[in-house]
Amino acid sequence: MADTISNLQAALDLARRGYHVFPCYPGGEKAKRPMTPPVMSWANQSSCDPAQVQRWWATYPHAAIGLDVGKSGLVVIDADRHGEHDGVEAMGVLMGKHDFNPDSAPLVATPNEGNHHFFRVPEGTKLGNGRGALPAGIDVRGAGGYVIAPGTVMADGRVYEIYGNLDDAPMLPDWLMHVISAPREEAKRDIPLRAQSQSGNHDGDRTLDEIADLLACIHADCGYEEWYQVLMAIHAETGGSAAGLALADQWSSGGSKYKGRREIEVKWRSFKRDGITGATLADIARAHGGDLSAIAKKHNKPADQLGTAEHGWQVYRQIIQARDGTLADAETGEVIETTSATTRGASANQPDYPDGLVGDLARWIVATSRKPQPAISIGAALTLVGLACGRHIAGPTMTGTTLYVLGLAPTGKGKDAPLKQISRVLTQSRMAAHIGPPEFISMSSVVNMLKRKPCALCPMDEFGDFMARVYSRKGGPHERAIPKILRTMWSANFDQAATPEWAQVESVQINAPHLSIFAVSTHEQFYSAIEGGATSDGTLNRFLLIDGLRNPVEREPELDPHSVPMGIINDMALVFRRSGEMATYQRNDIAANPADAGHLTVLPWCPDGAEKEWKRFQVECERTMLEKPDEADFWVRGAEMAIRIATIIAAGRHGANVNTADVAYGVDFVRRSIHAMVAGARDYMAENENEAAINRIIRILKERGVVKKRDLMRTLKGIRAKDLRDVLAFMDEAGMIEVMQVKAERGPPAVSYRLL
């Protein structure tokens, strides 16, 4: 095998030679599918611009390379070898029959023992993905199709190795053009050009060639549920005909799990003439990156026929609005929810309280709040108990208890209550000397604070503004150096951490620093501030991100917020002094370092399987990083974060070790944090103005449910009307939103949008 190069190098090389590429998933269930984000519509976004390619692969370095065949002026003959259909052998026989030298066309040996034969198409000729009269096991990828590009290295190490030079691809020979263009006589006899209405009769309105083009967008190695739905959809569209069965078998044979035609026949006979329709096939094709608009145009469909499983080929779903504001489908009477699942289910998605001091602190903070934020309160409690453990209690992996916690909630929704109680708990527990500043002006201010207070917890409000300042391109070097020193202190544990040296100030050693942060911000403020910088430099993944309630229920506080219960104060003291008095010293010298002075308490693994539980999560993190490279930055410190939380909980219940329940809680809390980070990055961070506009629209629809067009335009004042129309049209075509006509009892119908 030839030496491999990185996917970035391979993608750049292809782009510089004029081939249109885009990132795909390199492994996992979505392997070989377009990576979303950043590619919402591969057919529109595939690019041969090296700068764009560099941006994509700088963010997703392990992404596989998708090659847009049609835009690159190519057609690919895809010969697979699965089950009883040996497309590789059939292609060899076909080429021999026409005296075609197989070495005259570049060939890529695919990891599944198949071959991709590359040809160019005559100028002005537009070949789609229909296979015409080609034998079973051979597919065509043309306009509206893509393949994994030569040189791609998949997550499991398998390589798409090319024999020959892509630039030397010959023109598609006439004999092969004739075979591809030849009609399938059986199909023409068995399948009507148009079927009856969508309701009742399930003989569809798509020709066999159109179904083939939709199938070309879907890999047969998709998940079982999708594979099964595809077969049902083909059955519905073709009326269960023999031609439909042949097409279903031919498509399924392209998957590595293909067991032969008999399995397809058995399932085919079991399908009823109801349920899933051909619109489901369009939905699945779109989800796999298919350009339904291009397919519709190719088959002379009206431009608005972009069907989905919910509303077939209609652009506008007809909705009736009752006097009380309730929306219902005009045809079915189905009530349309006007608030998002995220908003409705927020309270159900809050974590439970852990045992011991952490849970007691969190419950007390909630009981003293006018607008309770349970999850954010748990985050505050973790930093408080973590501070009491600081410099003298270690987990079984010798990690410390430093935490950077960030609670996100809208303005005026109760996130300030946990923030205020941080200082109150520390003051009444006689630990006020460990309260850090609410903000750092420069890197030197962090260093000076650590010299005075090597064990500190900083309660920080409006954290998004702070991050905007330290990541601003206009910021000075001392401001922009703050994230680096925060990263250093997070990782120091019980080691010595050296501070930077500048001007007349010498570097100093901070002995076993414990710097924790509890911060709050709004989603918009925080994500708009970092613009991806904190993700790429490793700052964001050191934070435990907590998504608070969007609309907490307001009520009178149950307890006096100014008086910390004596039980909590006593428990804080027990944790704080667990390793002896020396551990509480506020001195930055070697004698006051508990680890070096013999005052370090290490909590070992409990023999109940806690270590195995943690290692399972460690493997999960590593596997997810490999399978989802776009999320790798968020998972890289997941296992360490989980054991820190578990250690804090164990210390808070005055345990002798870290047990399985402690680990399970830490793992669950970290998973929630990572999922919140991934969702936040997707919803708020963008590479260009169009992506930013899409993200804003998604957020609005998530918050409000069904939104009228005029209300959307008022909310998005910064976007020109023409640009907004273009963005909404793209989102509709990409299957991201549903466009509806809402008819109120009075007035004309109003165009409205809903997130799908």
Residue 87 is predicted with a pLDDT of: 82
Q: Worst-scoring range by mean pLDDT, 4-8, 62-66, 285-289? A: 285-289
Residue 191 is predicted with a pLDDT of: 29
Residue 130 is predicted with a pLDDT of: 72
In 485-518, which positions are buried (b, 16+ CB within 10 angstroms) versus exposed (e)?
A: bbbbbbbbbbbebebbeeeeeeebebbbbbbbbb
pLDDT tens, residue by residue, 652-681? 999 899 999 999 999 999 999 998 888 877
| 60-89 mean pLDDT | 86
**How far is residue 404's CA from residue 490's CA, in Å, rounded to a whole number?**
8
End-to-end, the C-alpha distance of the chain in Å comes to: 45
What confidence category does residue 315 fall into, taking pLDDT thresholds of 50, 70 and 90? very low
Residue 297 has which token pair? 């145009």
Higher-confidence residue of 19 and 334: namely 19
pLDDT above 80 for 534:
no
Give the CATH fold of the 347-498+508-603 domain: Rossmann fold (3.40.50)
pLDDT tens, residue by residue, 489-516? 898 888 877 777 765 677 778 888 899 9
pLDDT above 80 for 715:
no
| 154-172 mean pLDDT | 90
Residue 658 is predicted with a pLDDT of: 96
pLDDT above 60 for 330:
no
Give the CATH fold of the 7-181 domain: Prim-pol fold (3.30.2250)
What confidence category does residue 349 fall into, taking pLDDT thresholds of 50, 70 and 90? low
**How far is residue 665's CA from residue 649's CA, in Å, rounded to a whole number?**
9
pLDDT above 60 for 328:
no
Residue 659 is predicted with a pLDDT of: 95
Residue 746 is predicted with a pLDDT of: 59
pLDDT tens, residue by residue, 593-639? 666 666 789 999 999 999 999 999 999 999 999 888 878 888 999 99
Residue 145 is predicted with a pLDDT of: 84
pLDDT tens, residue by residue, 186-243? 333 332 222 222 333 335 667 888 888 889 888 887 777 778 788 888 888 888 887 8
pLDDT above 50 for 308:
no
Higher-confidence residue of 156 and 544: namely 544
pLDDT tens, residue by residue, 22-69? 999 898 878 888 887 787 778 888 999 999 999 899 888 889 999 999
Question: By three-state DSSP, how is residue 79 classified?
Answer: strand
**How far is residue 314's CA from residue 380's CA, in Å, rounded to a whole number?**
50
Higher-confidence residue of 536 and 378: namely 378
| 339-349 mean pLDDT | 43
Pairing of strands 21-24, 64-68: antiparallel
**How far is residue 23's CA from residue 63's CA, in Å, rounded to a whole number?**
5
pLDDT above 90 for 387:
yes
Residue 391 has which token pair? 């410099």
- Burial of residue 128 (CB within 10 Å: 0-12, 13-18, 19+) is buried
What confidence category does residue 310 fall into, taking pLDDT thresholds of 50, 70 and 90? very low
What ranges make up the beta strands (E) of 346-469? Answer: 393-394, 404-408, 455-460
Residues forming CATH 3.30.2250 domain(s) in the chain: 7-181
| 428-443 mean pLDDT | 90
**How far is residue 630's CA from residue 677's CA, in Å, rounded to a whole number?**
12
Angle at 430 between CA 427 and CA 434, to 5 degrees: 70
Residue 226 is predicted with a pLDDT of: 78
Residue 261 is predicted with a pLDDT of: 80
Q: Worst-scoring range by mean pLDDT, 274-283, 468-477, 493-502, 630-639? A: 274-283
Residues forming CATH 3.40.50 domain(s) in the chain: 347-498+508-603
Share of the chain above pLDDT 90, in %: 33
Q: Worst-scoring range by mean pLDDT, 20-29, 526-535, 641-650? A: 526-535
pLDDT tens, residue by residue, 34-45? 887 787 778 888
pLDDT tens, residue by residue, 400-432? 999 999 999 988 999 999 999 999 999 999 999
pLDDT above 60 for 275:
no
Residue 342 is predicted with a pLDDT of: 40
**How far is residue 625's CA from residue 567's CA, in Å, rounded to a whole number?**
43
In the chain, the largest separation of any two C-alpha atoms, in whole Å, equals 92
Residue 23 is predicted with a pLDDT of: 93
Share of the chain above pLDDT 70, in %: 81
Residue 59 is predicted with a pLDDT of: 82
pLDDT tens, residue by residue, 543-579? 999 999 888 889 999 899 999 999 999 999 999 988 8
